[in-house]
Amino acid sequence: MPETLPPARRRSLAVREVYDAFRQTVTNRQTLGYALVAGGVLGSLFAFVFCAQQVFTDIYGLGHYFPIAFAACAIGTAIAGFINSRFVDRLGMRVISHGALLGYVAVSGSMLAAAKLDTLPLSLFMTLSALMMFAFGLMISNFTALAMEPQGRIAGTASSLYGSITTLLGIGIGTKMGQDYDGTLLPFATGFFLCTLASLAVVLVVEKGRLFKPHRIKV
């Protein structure tokens, strides 16, 4: 595709220029913070994907019905995308994503409590999984937008680095949680809960304790 920026605003591909763009990205509190948060919630989603077949077939004995059950849970993400597109302009990115993150914590806590008490039937697990997918769908696009908010001048480089950080972090977390699977839901539920708590803690640090409220951005 052709370059869309006018010549006067194009950035050089010299090593020094690229390094400076990387430095600006990783030293920006909001960009790096939301990259870590997105990586954390992405890691819990990857872990769910990695464990899903064993959970649905080994624990719940669904056999060939596993794809149907998995697809039913994933519907939550599609619904979230539709709702987000309708309300993000009205409510704002922070209200939607922070609310979804708190919901993510509640879902993960409920799943962990039920797993510890060994009272997690298929219906409850699928309900919580669908809610997890729903909250994830509300968070991930808004977290990306919030991370890029201060990076208008270097949006291309910043988005590339952001994608690398979130994907690598998500894969690392998801792989570790997936490898901890022991035939029960407890390892996944524990990792899921810890990921959400860590993500909430990072958001509180980034936003200086002010959830749901936008603030001035230093570009």
**Predicted local distance difference test score (pLDDT) of residue 50:** 92
| Single pTM value for the model | 0.88
- pLDDT tens for the chain, 219 residues long, are 566 656 656 566 666 677 777 788 888 999 999 999 999 999 999 999 999 999 999 999 998 999 999 999 999 999 999 999 999 988 999 999 999 999 999 999 999 999 999 899 999 999 999 999 999 999 999 999 999 988 877 777 888 899 999 999 999 999 999 899 888 999 999 999 999 999 999 999 999 888 888 765 554
Instruction: Name residues whose C-beta falls within 8 Å of residue 119's C-beta, 6 or more positions apart in sequence.
Output: none
**Predicted local distance difference test score (pLDDT) of residue 219:** 46
**Predicted local distance difference test score (pLDDT) of residue 5:** 59
- What 3-state class would DSSP assign to 72? helix
**Predicted local distance difference test score (pLDDT) of residue 189:** 94
Q: Helices 66-91 & 29-54, crossing angle to 10 degrees?
A: 160
Cβ-count burial of 149 within 10 angstroms (0-12 exposed, 13-18 middle, 19+ buried)?
middle
Q: What is the dihedral angle through the alpha carbons of 131, 191, 175, 167, rounded to the nearest 10 degrees?
A: 60
Query: If we measure between CA atoms, which residue out of 39, 179, 66 comes closest to residue 125?
Result: 66
Residue with tokens 């979130």: 166
Q: Which structure tokens are listed for 21? A: 């763009």
CA dist 30 and 124 (Å) reads 36
CB of 84 closer than 8 Å to CB of 96: yes
**What's the alpha-carbon Rg for the chain, to the nearest Å?**
19
Beta strand residue intervals within 18-130, DSSP E: none
Q: Which CATH number fits domain 27-206: 1.10.1660.10, 3.40.190.80, 2.60.40.1180, 1.20.1250.20?
A: 1.20.1250.20
